[in-house]
Structure 1
Amino acid sequence: MSTPQPPTPQAAPEWQAAPGSPYPTYTSPIPVVRAHLGHALASEWTKIKSVRSTLWTLGVFVLLVVGIGLLAGLVVANSSSDLAGESALSLGFFGLLLGSMCVITLGVLTTASEYGTGMVRTTMTACPSRSRVLAAKAIVFFLMAFVVTLVSATLVAMLHVAMLEDNGAVDPTGAEWLKATVGVSLYIALLGLLSLAVGSVIRHSAGAITIMIGVLLAPLVIALFMFSESLKEVQEALFEYSIPNQLSIFYANSLSESGPSGWDPLWIVLGVTAVVLAGAFALLQKRDV
């Protein structure tokens, strides 16, 4: 008894060559789609949400912002402190100051870590347009940092208003709510974006993080030890333009009586970030990966 033979596969169709094709006997049946920024955004979102550093840094960020904010509110609410004339939102400053270091770290890792692992070669092979890759990283990171900060800051603000209503704190105005939630979230997200640009320029995670932590803390620490009268103006400038002071302005409790006010800190960090990011784009085009 003969064994049944499998059916003979049909011959592949003869695909007609496209005009001017170097392969005159074959044209791929798979539709070719021109790559665009949307593809790069999808790729960067997949990468940033799948690495453990994102989960850990953002988790610690939320823990610091909400945990320290809640602790500060409980301490003031259970004490005899009188907040007459002050906004309940001002206590959110402490958690965000510490939490900003997490956003800085994640911003650096978003770009610099790929140079450490060599993954950047794969990324640039998949998307030869280097500017598109950096733009996608910047957009995805900025939106993620902004949303996480906004949710955390808004939650802390709502808790403080509810907890401190018996301590004489005044109800925040609409402008104060806007600055203490949307304004400070934009500032933190831009600070992280600045870190991302520095990571792209330095291409070394530890070095870029060290630089950004220095930018965050060094001006204020240096100013604290300037006792000479001849350095008074320098000391005041370091106080006024230090990141902790600019961050406190969003809560109307500036460390300095002069210097930036209102929305000035947001425009300052926006300008600095734009300059450094433009430099990162320019260097990315000139240097080898």
Structure 2
Amino acid sequence: MSTPQPPMPQTAAPTWQAAPGQPYPTYTSPIPVVRTHLGHALASEWTKIRSVRSTVWTLGVFVALVVGIGLAVAALIAANASQESLAGESPLPFGFFGLLLGSICIITLGVLTTASEYGTGMIRTTMTACPTRGRVLAAKSIVFFAVAFTVTLVSAVLVALADVAMLDGAREPSTEEWLKGTVGVSLYLALLGLLSLVVGSVIRHSAGAITIMIGLLLAPLVIALFMFAESLQDLQQALFEYSIPNQLGVFYAQSLSQSGPDGWDPLWIMLGVTAAVFAGAWALLERRDV
């Protein structure tokens, strides 16, 4: 004797009914329809950025460079410099070298956040799920900026605290120096990564966009070093002052020149450049095919 099977759960069936004033019936889906918003796009981009291996590897290398080089430089200085030579010096600038090299990782991750989807074709799925293209770019930018700023800030604070502890002869940094050497430089690098993200959206090619951004990072300073003609001195001075390495150094009061940006100026410069390129990327995204 066979045992009776439990009844199958009943699902709502789609219905067809004619709307008032229409000769043909309309379809009513049994699945509830939810109007999407920016929060859905943010959740999607957060899932993407934390689930791909490139994020783990690039941020892992970034932390290793920033913390490792920062501690190594501080240890080398502590072992070879006397307390008298460190007197009056702030220990925070020794974290500059690791952040400069680590910026390449932030640039790479920023480009991959957008350009890699064009390379794999995943962008078609993304735009099908969220046809509002500007919302997709905004969600990518918000998620990436938050991740880049958080990781950079944690790394910069760790290096700063370790350098202060290791260099006994150095003076205690002021509150403004702490803010510029941790929060300020983290905002700057996060904006640099965001600039890389929108450049990746414009170029739509990972290798090309990374090459452009690394050239923007290094080329002005390298070109300026080989300008020997007197007629090019003004241009050489401008390249020195507004190069990204020099602007990073400004946060640690280590500028290559006596003129040019100082204080928080590099942050506003990077913010303006990023905003302009972001507006261009937004306009192109609305006009170009996927």
TM range (shorter): over 0.9
Q: Which residue of 1 aligns with 2:210?
A: 209
What TM-score, normalized by structure 2, do the two folds share? 0.93
Q: Distance in 2 between matches of 1:255 and 1:18?
A: 75
Quote how far apart the aligned CAs of 1:30 are: 2.8
Q: Which residue of 2 aligns with 1:86?
A: 89
Aligned pair in 2 of structure 1 residues 121, 83: CA closer, same or farther (>3 Å)? Answer: same
**Is 1:173 equivalent to 2:174 in the alignment?**
yes
Q: For 1:114-193, what aligned pairs fall within 5 Å after superposition?
A: 114-165=117-168, 167=169, 169-193=170-194
Aligned-pair distance for 1:46? 0.3
1:27 aligns with 2:14: no
What number of residue pairs does the alignment pair up?
Answer: 286
| Conserved 8 A contact 2:114-2:197 | yes
Where structure 1 has 5 or more consecutive residues not aligned to the other structure, the ranges are none
Contact 2:19/2:26 (CA < 8 Å) preserved in 1? no
1:285 to 2:280 alignment: no
Deviates more, 1:187-196 or 1:31-40: 31-40
Q: Is the 8 A contact 2:13 2:30 kept in 1?
A: no
Provide the C-alpha distance between the structure 2 equivalents of 1:11 and 1:200, rounded to a whole number of angstroms: 46
Q: CA deviation at 1:14?
A: 6.5
Paired residues of 2:15 and 2:29 also in contact (CA < 8 A): no
Task: Measure, in 2, the Cα distance between the counterparts of 1:10 and 1:175.
Answer: 65
In structure 1, the partner of 2:223 is 222
How far apart in 1 are the matches of 2:73 and 2:61? 17
Give 3-state SS (helix, strand or coil) of 1:244's partner. helix
Cα pair 1:245 1:255 within 8 Å, conserved: yes
- The offset of 1:4, in angstroms, is 5.7
Is the alpha carbon distance of 1:12 and 1:280 closer, same or farther for their aligned partners in structure 2, counting shifts above 3 Å?
closer
Change (3 A) 1:58 1:14: closer
Residue by residue over 1:18-51, the C-alpha shift from the partner in whole angstroms, topping out at 9 and shown as x without a partner, is 7749984763333221100000000000001111
Q: Unaligned stretches of 5+ in structure 2?
A: none
Q: Distance in 2 between matches of 1:248 and 1:10?
A: 67
What is the correspondence of 1:91-110 to structure 2 with a 5 Å cutoff?
Answer: 91-110=94-113
Cα pair 2:246 2:256 within 8 Å, conserved: yes
Q: Normalised by the size of structure 1, how large is the TM-score?
A: 0.94
How much is the aligned-residue C-alpha RMSD, in angstroms? 2.0
User: What SS does the corresponding residue of 1:78 show, helix, strand or coil?
Assistant: helix
Structure 1 residue 159: Cα displacement:
0.4
Identity between Structure 1 and Structure 2 (%): 73
How far is 1:13 from its partner? 5.6
> How far 1:59 sits from its partner (Å)?
0.3
